[in-house]
Amino acid sequence: MQSALFIGSNIYRGSRYGARHPLSIERVPAATDLARQLGWLPPALYRTSPRARPQALSAFHDADYIAALMQAEAEGMVSDRARERYGLGTLSNPVFPEMFRRPATAVGGGLLAAELLMSGAVRAVHNPGGGTHHALRGRASGFCFLNEPVLTILHLLRLGAGRVVYVDIDAHHGDGVEFAFPGSDRVRVISVHEDRRWPFTGALNDDAGGAAFNLPVPRDFNDSEFERVLEDLIVPATEGFRPDAVFLQCGADALSEDPLSRLALSNNSHFRAVRRLMQIAPRLVVSGGGGYNPWSVARCWAGVWATLSGQEIPDRLPDPAARMLAALDWHRKGRPDAALLSTLRDAPRPGSVRSEIREGIAQLRQRL
């Protein structure tokens, strides 16, 4: 069995939500190009993502919503009725040229990942274009038009997985995934996210009918706290469910440089989560998710791929890789710290483990 495969697509290249939108940046292409510059992505380890068909999307999404999304892309506009009913053409979920094809390709990557894993062809798959965890059954939400994690999990179950664990380390609660599986005895949802941050769901006592473990964390959540959460909550809650597959939503917006959160992780926490779940998961899907600083996202997801595929992360980037990062642009003023252009692995960001973290873990462990 091959250990890991990377799923990507050219649909992401040059596709942006708008000049001032947080998703005005290159993310999947930057991570892909950085991995290639480092020699980690030969053709044998890369698969081009197919585009999911409307029939496949209807496994979760309402048919009228799918039709409205396709129509909005075709016409380049939405009616007031469609904006109100479906959340299309808003500041968060604007009209842009690939607004159906891009998320449908992300879903196609997730469906392909499920097929590769359940067929036994591969042990782990990285689909950085996926992780769109806010989309609802009949409505766009939070930059997400289609819910790739939900559709991928449903496909894993359809292909023979008895149980699936979904782990979400994005800075924002994965509300759309939790809402899709209330009371499920086949899907366990574990989310670690910033407290008092949009979408303002995922409270500590919210268990989604027994299916969810939610740990909202305070500002400045650090690497030491993440390690405690990983070892004392995520790992036992995953192992105890005895899953046939694990889905890790590896959003990069919990990193300290991100403009849309106030957490303080280094990318070492993401690599640690990937490495640890690889040790216990029979099959592993790792997606992207949030992440709105182009340099920190590219470095994080390239490093996630290195961890999945067993590559050695260098202390300093070779000149071609550093130049590739330096060429990235961002509408925000200023340039990144030199370390974001010359290294891939962040310096660790340790700290004390605060009482609210320990108490939250203890409360959730009582349910295990």
Write out the catalytic residue numbers.
Answer: 134
Helix (H, G, I), strand (E, B) or coil at 318: coil
H or E element at residue 32: helix 28-37
Angle, CA 132 vertex, CA 291 and CA 346 arms, to 5°: 25
Q: What share of the chain is helix, strand, coil (3-state, %, to 5)?
A: 40, 15, 45
Give residues with Cβ within 8 angstroms of 125, minimum separation 6: 4, 5, 6, 7, 112, 113, 116, 117, 284, 285, 286
**CA torsion through residues 28, 34, 40, 43, sign:** positive
Asked if 213 and 367 touch (Cβ cutoff 8 Å), the reply is: yes
| CA–CA distance, 274 with 259 (Å, rounded to integer) | 24
What tokens appear for 47 in the block?
Answer: 């698969």
Other beta carbons less than 10 A from residue 287's beta carbon: 30
Distance CA 158, CA 17 (A): 33
126 three-class SS: strand
